[in-house]
Chain A
Amino acid sequence: MALSGLDIYKLLPKTNCKKCGFATCLAFAMQLAKKASSVENCPFISQEAKDKIISASLAPIKSISLESRCGELILGGEKVLFRHEEKFFNPCAIGIIFEDSLSEAKLIEKISDVKRLSFERVGEILTVDVVALKYSGIDAGKYIDSFKAIINNCDFVVALICDDTDVIKKVVEIANGRDLIIYCFGKEFDIEKFSHFASNKNLSFVLVAEDLDSLNILTLKCEQLKFKNLLIDTGEKNLSDKLWDLTQIRRLSLKKHIRSLGYPVSCIIEQTSPEAIINKASCYILKYASMILVKSDAPEVIFPLLTLRQNIYSDPQKPLQVEPKSYAVGQVDKDSPVLVTTNFSLSYFTVLSEVEASRVPSYIVSVDTEGMSVLTAWAAEKLTPESITKALEKDNIKDKVDHKKLVIPGYVSVMSGDLQEKSGWQVTVGPKEASGIPSFLKKYK
């Protein structure tokens, strides 16, 4: 269980010797609680206290790391139930399931479809992370060939959904060092057969059981067998039961410190209808899944899901930013007003929606303030006459309009003179709150 700064302070020598580099023991303790410093920096702490602090800082949910040529994929390692408490750390992997019944040509076509599932949003490329290959139980040779086609044609992490341990063994032999996720499906699946692979870091195993007690028994057994990389799954259920399982696993590992359930959770969505995928996947992304495998590669289905994942795994402390540039709102012309705001997404979107509401076509220039809001950016000297001038020049806004008139937020009226001088634009002070924009724009010429 994580210790608070005060808890840690009680374990420190309380001499305020400053050897750790901080002004006081309490300040050091606060940094330790935030994991911004290491307990090793205190030369006088007792071994007992040190062990206590280190063991308390262990992650309640283990994380696993998968390598592929697409980069490192980390699953799990979560620390909170609600993102506002800190953040959700490692975005849940989204994977596409292929059937081994596909012809090789069709499979390769599908792979290239999946590779095209790549969307750029706010400076980030959103893609799927995993492809899964499902064994139909009929033709092991076909399965192995399909696997070969996958590893030869893409760099995704590959998951094997296959209940035949012999087939899996064969696939592992030809995996060529690729990281694999092995779904241990079916009651017959004997994980002990893989115990000699247990310490192999290329292989991760998803343990499947219908209820948490059976899962708990499975993970404890695998821990004894020294399996390192584990995920868990409670199998196919209706949505409300699945939500309950996912919530229980997260709560039990965080609040009751049941480490045998402290593993990343995987979910397979068996239905193929877009509606079912949309409903289930949005629930799983929001509520604690670390991997979701689906049977659709339709961009209109995957794109919103990847966007939801990006939203939910963003850092609530770090404001989301929009690209700093000038945005045209409505049917702009050479006389359209030019308004300045920051690139803090909330500032920008609030201004945007009010400009839209005013129905006065305008340009919004979002200045790069590293995502700070107007007043914060002004205080931190990110929204200055210089930065505004730079933003105006960078986008050549003067070529888009025939005037040189600029509207700045009411909260930074103090800079108007200076800005006028530096930018050469005539500055008008706009309203303090965005809600005043529509009536302002109507009167503004």
Chain B
Amino acid sequence: MELEYIEKSSNSITSVILGTGSTSLKVGGEDALPFLYREGKNVSLPIIAHEVFDSAPSDWAKSLKDEFKSVINKPIEWALYCKNELNAKLICLRLSSAHPDFGNNSADKLAKLCRDIYAKVNLPMVIIGCGDDKKDNQVLPECSKALKGKNCYFGNTTIDNYKTIAASCIADGNGVIAHSPIDINIAKQLNILINEVGLPLDKVIINPTVGALGYGLEYAYSIMERARLAALMGDKMLALPFICFIAQESWRAKESKASEKDNPDWGKELERGIYWEAVTANSFLHAGADILVMRHPKAVEIVSKAIKELTNKGIK
């Protein structure tokens, strides 16, 4: 008796290239569920993006802040640190200082920052706005212009706010991060809408919204599983890579931040935060994540190891 059950996919995930030249990266392209390399020809390697903020984050856990102490106020150095010390292949730049209430930095200033970081670091970049629709629509087009032809990815675009950002990405040869609120329908609708204004699907990466371990992780996990299954069964509008913002969720959990003194039975504080980030990241690897946006170097190291083992084709 041949004890094997092979699922053949009728479709594969669209390959998306980030960046240009020798540092460019390919994500997507999978034609099987995550890491089942025996039934798929292309099981691509998930990538970890290192998160860099344009201004010092105010709400970070101490253990996290300590890791970036020397660069936390200097986004360019921060990005260089990620590249040189942490071996980053992809930078996720967060433009939180654009927010009208928290810095209100101008589009020009931030566009210059994007240009400078790219010039110094020369890595593919994902650039995320401040979340204020109006301001993002001013800032992101300027940043896209500043990175014209660099094949960077801009977000978040949402179903209520995609037209302006998508249009400037079309003009500048960049791509978008399509953000939906843990909802497979809205994820797909947004891809359709973005595609219909003229951006090709291989310039779109899905941000499905994830929950941290213990905080709704399973919703996002199942939404991603469903989307990936539908994609492999032929749904082209869902067959796009996923980017998951792991750290911003996991480090908000009280289990990541609570001190050992307050919770003596929860174990070591520093490791707890790291493992919380790593387990959250691991879970989404198995749901089909292509890009994991992470923070703690130690968590990055653990998850890199998991990716390496999961993509090791073994003996057979």
Contacts and interface: CB of A to CB of B under 8 A. Distances in A.
Interface of A: 82-84, 116-119, 121, 212-213, 216, 237-241, 243-244, 247-248, 251-252, 255-256, 258, 261, 274-275, 278-279, 282-283, 286-287, 298-305, 307-308, 310-312, 314, 316, 320, 345-346, 349-350, 353, 356-357, 359, 442
A357 to B, nearest CB: 7
A300 B1 CA distance: 44
Interface string B259-288: 000000111100110011011001100100
15 contacts: A117-B265, A121-B214, A212-B4, A240-B312, A243-B310, A251-B7, A252-B3, A282-B279, A307-B213, A307-B214, A311-B213, A311-B214, A311-B218, A314-B218, A350-B181
Given A83-B221, A213-B1, 14 more contacts: A116-B265, A216-B3, A238-B309, A255-B5, A274-B275, A298-B271, A299-B265, A299-B272, A300-B267, A304-B276, A312-B218, A316-B222, A346-B182, A353-B252
Interface residues of B, number: 56
Given A278-B279, A307-B213, A349-B211, A300 B182 contact: no
Contacts of A274: 271, 275
B217 interface: yes
A83 B217 contact: no
Contacts of B102: 359
Interface of B: 1, 3-5, 7, 35-38, 59, 101-102, 131, 181-182, 211, 213-219, 221-222, 225-226, 229, 252, 255, 265-268, 271-272, 275-276, 278-279, 282-283, 286, 301-303, 305-306, 309-316
A41 B135 CA distance: 64
A247 B302 contact: no
A350 B220 CA distance: 13
A7 B6 CA distance: 27
Contacts of A356: 59, 252
Nearest to A275: B302
Contact of B313 (A240, A302, A353): A240
Contacts of A311: 213-214, 217-218, 221
Nearest to A253: B5
A301 B218 contact: no
A239 B309 contact: yes
A257 B35 CA distance: 24
B3 A248 contact: yes
Nearest to A82: B225
Contact of A300 (B222, B268, B314): B268
A282 B283 contact: yes
B234 to A, nearest CB: 17
A269 B310 CA distance: 15
Contact of B267 (A252, A299, A359): A299
A116 B264 CA distance: 10
Contacts of A312: 218, 221
A241 B314 contact: yes
Contact of B279 (A238, A308, A310): A308
Contacts of A255: 5
A91 to B, nearest CB: 13
Nearest to A319: B219
A243 B36 contact: yes
B3 A261 contact: yes
A279 B306 contact: yes
B5 A279 contact: no
A381 B34 CA distance: 43
A84 B226 contact: yes
B282 A282 contact: yes
A243 B285 CA distance: 13
B230 to A, nearest CB: 11
Given A307-B213, A312-B221, A346-B216, A279 B302 contact: yes
Given A83-B222, A300-B268, A304-B213, A240 B35 contact: yes
A240 B221 CA distance: 20
A131 to B, nearest CB: 18
Ordered nearest first, which 6 A-B pairs have the shortest CB separation?
Answer: A300-B267, A299-B267, A279-B306, A239-B309, A282-B282, A251-B5
